Amino acid sequence: MDDREYEALADLFKIFSNSTRLQILHALVEGEKSVTDICEEVGMQQSAISHQLSLLKQNRLVKTRREGKSIYYSLLDSHILTIIKQGLDHINE
């Protein structure tokens, strides 16, 4: 690996280092959800969730789909689920 790859990997792990973002990602494991659905599941206000979703989108962990005025979020790809599952497996050993 070169320095650029190490930096990119470190940045990825920084995103996973926040428990709110992990809760949001875990909520999206079940499938696409609106911000309102995520807020209810995580138990936080929309402004806090929207901020974290923006960071997750910027870092290519979630994607969006617009339907009318509503925006729905989902995991970008199966790699995100794999990272979450492997992390859980590791801490539960």
Q: Domains of the chain: which residue ranges?
A: 3-91
Q: Could you tell me if 63 and 57 are in contact, meaning their C-beta atoms sit under 8 angstroms apart?
A: yes
Residue-level pLDDT at 90: 94
Q: Would you place residue 1 in the very low, low, confident or very high pLDDT band (cuts 50, 70, 90)?
A: confident
Full 3-state SS string of 38-50: HHHHHCCCHHHHH
Portion of the chain with pLDDT greater than 70, in percent: 100
Architecture per CATH, domain 3-91, reads as: Orthogonal Bundle (1.10)
35: nearest Cα among 54, 16, 12:
54
Query: Between helices 78-91 and 19-28, what is the axis angle to 10°?
Result: 120
Could you report the per-residue pLDDT of 70-81, keeping only the tens digit for each?
999 999 999 999
42 in Cβ contact with 23 (< 8 Å): yes
